């Protein structure tokens, strides 16, 4: 990817849902969730270069997705419109997080754009203001702006810091794209899990994903990948799929499985993160130059 020297790279990490329960449904059709969100060190890279002419340009469009529909462009325009900022940005996106896997790649890319441009454009929004803005782009965006492992409620926008032990994960991407809308509308989906009173890593065990059974029913490829991981612990699906993962206490254990599973599947051996790489991002750390 050809990126000019004036652009700077910013990380956009993926997430896993270590636990996901559907506790109800709002009148507008949105599902009420409870979930443990965990950041992992599988990252996209968002390259940004500030422009002074107000234009927002995506130089790496995804095939079949109009640039104006890309979450990075929508995030920049949302911030621009909300704050009245007259600056623009050039965007290059280097994807490593697989699309359609339940890892939140698109949402994380959007969150990184909001975090960085809020600083580089001098918008001055607080983290909480950015979270309220981000929910307009998608239910996972607030978590990435929040920037810490979290217990999430509501549609994903009610967040509290959640202590997740240091662990390693092997993430497997089956060769299928799960249609999230299809899963949420499925008549067999569990929608009445009991809400947690005092959530903690221990008292929520055993972890589960209320979408998993329906996805297995509709997508045999996801079930097959899950069954491959079964001998190595207690695998789980993340989000609405398609990715499944297994957790380990050491990098050696994780890498041993990764070496085996990666011969058959697209797979990743990753470490959990305690905080987002941009959690303490400030404009003076960017070294950003303007153009346009």
Using an 8 Å Cβ cutoff, are 145 and 134 in contact? yes
Nearest Cα to 171, choosing from 255, 66, 280? 255
Identify the active-site residue in 19, 140, 153, 173. Answer: 140
Is 140 catalytic? The answer is yes
Contact 67, 58 (CB under 8 A): yes
Q: Is 234 a catalytic residue?
A: no
**What gap in Å lies between CA 134 and CA 157, rounded to an integer?**
9
* Residue pair 23/156 in contact by the 8 Å Cβ criterion: no
How many C-beta atoms surround the C-beta of residue 284 within 10 A? 8
Residue 259 is encoded by which pair of tokens?
Answer: 């070496």
What is the spatial distance between Cα 129 and Cα 123, in angstroms, rounded to a whole number?
11
Contacts of 171 (CB under 8 A, 6+ apart): 16, 40, 42, 103, 238, 243, 244, 245, 267, 268, 270
Judge if the upstream peptide bond of residue 206 is cis by omega within 30 degrees of 0.
yes
Active-site residues, by number, are 15, 140
């Amino acid at each position: 990817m050809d990126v000019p020297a004036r652009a700077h790279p910013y990380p956009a990490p993926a997430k896993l849902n270590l636990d996901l329960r559907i506790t109800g449904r709002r009148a507008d059709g949105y599902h009420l969730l409870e979930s443990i969100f965990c950041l992992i060190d599988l990252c996209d890279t968002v390259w940004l270069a500030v422009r002074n002419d107000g234009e927002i340009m995506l130089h790496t469009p995804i095939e079949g997705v109009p640039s104006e529909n890309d979450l990075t462009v929508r995030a920049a325009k949302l911030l621009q419109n909300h704050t009245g900022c007259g600056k623009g940005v050039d965007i290059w996106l280097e994807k490593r997080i697989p699309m359609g896997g339940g890892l939140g790649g698109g949402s994380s890319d959007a969150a990184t754009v909001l975090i960085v441009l809020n600083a580089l454009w001098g918008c001055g929004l607080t983290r909480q203001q950015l979270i309220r803005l981000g929910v307009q782009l998608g239910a996972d965006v607030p978590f990435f702006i929040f920037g810490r492992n979290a217990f999430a409620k509501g549609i994903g926008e009610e967040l509290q810091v959640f202590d997740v032990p240091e662990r390693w994960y092997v993430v497997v991407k089956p060769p299928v794209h799960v249609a999230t809308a299809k899963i949420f509308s499925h008549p067999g989906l569990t929608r009445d899990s009991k809400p947690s009173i005092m959530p903690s890593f221990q008292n929520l065990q055993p972890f589960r994903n209320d979408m998993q059974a329906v996805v297995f029913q509709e997508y045999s490829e996801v079930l097959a990948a899950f069954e491959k991981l079964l001998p190595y612990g207690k695998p789980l699906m993340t989000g609405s799929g398609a990715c499944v993962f297994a957790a380990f206490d050491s990098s050696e254990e994780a890498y041993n499985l990764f070496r085996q599973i990666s011969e058959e599947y697209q797979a990743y051996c990753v470490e959990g993160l305690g905080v987002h790489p941009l959690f303490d991002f400030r404009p003076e750390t960017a070294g950003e130059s303007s153009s346009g």
